[in-house]
Structure 1
Amino acid sequence: MNDLRIRHAALPDIDAVLRFWRTAAEGTSISDDHDGVARLISRDPEALLLAERDGTLVGTVIAGFDGWRCSAYRLAVHPDHRRQGIATALLDAAAQRFAALGGRRVDAMVLERNERAHHAWQGAGYLREDHWRRWVKPL
């Protein structure tokens, strides 16, 4: 893992991140476009964490904090690089960010049908709260 570098995304990374998510992430959302990612980076320049190996994007996580709750989104690792500790390294970096901001709880939104992701989050020590049903409305 010594060759893994985790850094914050910048505006020039947006197109590469969007291409990466089409390959590595399960599903997309209405905010997975250039303007949506640009708003994220502009509003919170440290939220989108990228994992790179030899200059190649191999993983992402969005580590958002609204001042009350920490939220993790878009944890994704390229299929050719899975099971190598990249997701763990990204979540560790997110946890460090959250701790520095004073966060005390992390919520992770995961598609119900994404069984692989459920196992990954469970392996990282997250607990599934089945009593919550999230309702969303596009604005």
Structure 2
Amino acid sequence: MSDLHIRCAAPTDIDAVLRFWRTAAEGTSISDDRDGVGRLVARDPEALLLAERDGVMVGTVIAGFDGWRCSAYRLAVAPGCRRQGIATALMEAAEQRFTALGGRRADAMVLEANERAHHTWAASGYHREDHWRRWVKPLRG
């Protein structure tokens, strides 16, 4: 994977990230817009990691840390680039970030219906905690 480069997103990447998620990520979120991603990048400039090959975005992950828990969101790989180790490389970079910040546990938000992703997370050493049910409420500003 020597041709793969992982870097933090910059404000100038926001539109490209949103386009990428429309084709590579399954499902959308209320915060998948220019303002939402812009706030993420402004608040924590190292959280949104991009994988690039020859200058083309091929993967993303949000490696968020709130001072207590590490959370991975939006792990996505371009459909034509899957099964090439990109997700693994992104998660290794995310986990290095978590460790450097003092994180002790990482959670991943994964769509229930995305069976392919369940296998990817399991192969990466994550396990499912079915006893936790996440309740989500969109916040209006």
TM-score category of the 2 structures, normalised to the smaller one: over 0.9
TM-score, normalised with respect to structure 2: 0.98
Q: Residue in 2 aligned with 1:112?
A: 112
1:60 CA drift (Å): 0.2
The alignment partner of 1:51 has SS state of strand
Alpha-carbon distance between aligned partners in 2 of 1:69 and 1:133, rounded to the nearest angstrom: 17
Query: What is the RMSD computed on CA atoms of the aligned residues?
Result: 0.4
Q: Residue in 2 aligned with 1:137?
A: 137
Alpha-carbon distance between aligned partners in 1 of 2:39 and 2:116, rounded to the nearest angstrom: 29
1:34 CA drift (Å): 0.2
Deviations 1:48-83 (A, max 9, x none): 000000000000000000000000000000000000
Give, as a single letter, the amino acid of the residue that structure 1 aligns with 2:106: V
The alignment partner of 1:21 has SS state of helix
Q: Which aligned runs of 4 or more in structure 1 are off by greater than 6 angstroms?
A: none
The alignment partner of 1:74 has SS state of strand
Structure 2 segments unaligned to the other structure (5+ residues): none
Give, as a single letter, the amino acid of the residue that structure 1 aligns with 2:131: H
The alignment partner of 1:73 has SS state of strand
TM-score, normalised with respect to structure 1: 0.99
Structure 1 segments unaligned to the other structure (5+ residues): none
Number of equivalenced pairs = 139
1:138 CA drift (Å): 0.5
Alpha-carbon distance between aligned partners in 1 of 2:70 and 2:123, rounded to the nearest angstrom: 19
